Amino acid sequence: MKKFFHLLIISIVVMNSPVFGWGRSGHDAIAYIAECHLTSKAKRQIEHYLDRRSIVYYASWMDRVRTTKNYKQTSQWHGNSVDELGYYQPDTVRGDAIYGINRAIEMLKDLHHSSDSTIRTAIFYLVHLVGDMHCPSHIRFPWYKSFKFEINGHKCSFHSFWDTDVLELSHRWGYEDYQYQLDRYSKKEIAQIALGSPSEWLHDSAQACRVLCDRISENDRLDKSQTNAFLLEAQQLAEEQILKAGYRLARILNDLFD
């Protein structure tokens, strides 16, 4: 019980900090799951462009550069808008996650005629944005807003809860733990999950996350029992989204580098 309330205090601190999709632990987990499903050739080629580093090393790179002069235009790329039915609504002015993913794919289609720095940046985009587009609070329905609610007497923000709190209040695994505990699907099942395009993945995620609008509302106050039930449901959804993102990121990278 003491540990639970200690983690709730951590979540309050996080709530007052900048919010980014999944936080470092979630992005690291997605990148590591993807890396575990890269072909040998794809992994070797990618590490060549990353100075022998893992894609996990750069999983949160886009969050760190989003306010810098050279990458300020990417600050709006970390999520997507959908309509009432969960279908992609492109942001044709500022761009969004799918725009960034498609741009990166185009940059990587002709490796022999692209500079190493261009290829590196495109890899960074893919590793991060495929993760972000699976984060529940980065899927914006027409009525979306980052409202406040309470769990067991402590205030939370909807956005920061899904970005970081849901994982902090869960198992507090390292990225290797996520892969070990969650990555148990067969090759056939993984291939089925990874089928489709980014816009189709967004629709799948929107359908899965749509239940959140019915599960928690602005100014809700969950008691201890309700909090435990909500966290169990939220953690399961977060883990499913992280796993899907990892498999789908691996498919894109294998398609491009193998």
d(CA 148, CA 9) in angstroms, rounded, equals 16
- The domain segmentation of the chain, as residue ranges, is 2-257
**pLDDT score recorded for residue 20:** 59
> Exposed/middle/buried for 143, CB within 10 Å: 0-12, 13-18, 19+?
exposed
Who's near 169: CB < 8 A, 6+ residues apart? 4, 7, 8, 11, 231, 235
Which residue type does 94 have? R
pLDDT in tens, 198-217: 999 999 999 999 887 778 88
**pLDDT score recorded for residue 163:** 86
> What is this structure's pTM?
0.90
d(CA 255, CA 96) in angstroms, rounded, equals 22
- What average pLDDT values come out for the chain (258 residues) when binned by 10 residues? 39 41 92 98 97 96 95 96 97 97 95 93 98 95 90 88 87 94 98 98 95 84 94 94 98 97
The CATH-assigned architecture of domain 2-257 is: Orthogonal Bundle (1.10)
Task: Using CA atoms of 148, 173, 197, 37 in order, give the dihedral in degrees to the nearest 10.
Answer: 180
